[in-house]
Amino acid sequence: MDESSTDDVPSAVAEGDPVRQFAVFLPNRPGAFVSILDLLGSNQVVALGVSVQDSIDNTVVRLVVSDPVTVETLFMERGIPFNCMDVVVVAFREGPEELPRCLRILLNAETNIHFLYPLLTQPEGCSALVLGLEDHDFGMAMLSKAGFRTLRQEDLSR
């Protein structure tokens, strides 16, 4: 299979809802992040993937969660500043050794990766990576075409 070819990109990938990531803007203060996790936990929501970008003034926490609808409602009701975006979650059936090939596919497809981080869980017993891509649908199609399993929200939710 030619990983650099973008011809015949599938028009559809796996059925289901895309995985949504929340970027939560927190003050750089002890306990701010744990209070978010406590809020999620008290509403039966699990943080499945986490990335933290810290600075002197504030912190941006990226979260993939088990129930994005509940989280969006909670954040709006509580006035917690956030934004949402669709992300690609790719499962590595053969293990993390597949990471270079995954990244090479995206490089050859000339789609930018804005961020990446691993999931805390192992869906279907596989390592999994969250990717924030310049073009979500195109990246997902290219990875699927190359034989990678891309996950949907239903694959992660309980």
More confident: 88 or 13: 88
Same domain, yes or no: 146 and 103: yes
Predicted TM-score of the model (pTM): 0.85
79-111: pLDDT as tens digits: 999 999 999 999 999 888 999 999 999 999 999
> Which of 71, 48, 34, 44 is closest to 117 using CA atoms?
48
Beta bridge partners of 91: 128, 149
Residue 149's domain spans which residues? 87-156
pLDDT band at 14 (very low <50, low <70, confident <90, very high): low
Give the Cα separation of 71 and 109 in Å (integer). Answer: 33
Domain count, the chain: 2
| pLDDT digits 0-9 by tens, 70-80 | 999 999 999 99
Name residues whose C-beta falls within 8 Å of residue 97's C-beta, 6 or more positions apart in sequence.
none
Give, for 62, the enclosing helix (H) or strand (E): strand 58-65
Give the pLDDT confidence score for residue 110 in this predicted structure.
93
What's the CATH code of the domain at 113?
3.30.70.260
**End-of-domain residue from the set 85, 113, 137:** 85
pLDDT mean across residues, the chain: 89
C-beta atoms surrounding 156 within 10 Å: 22
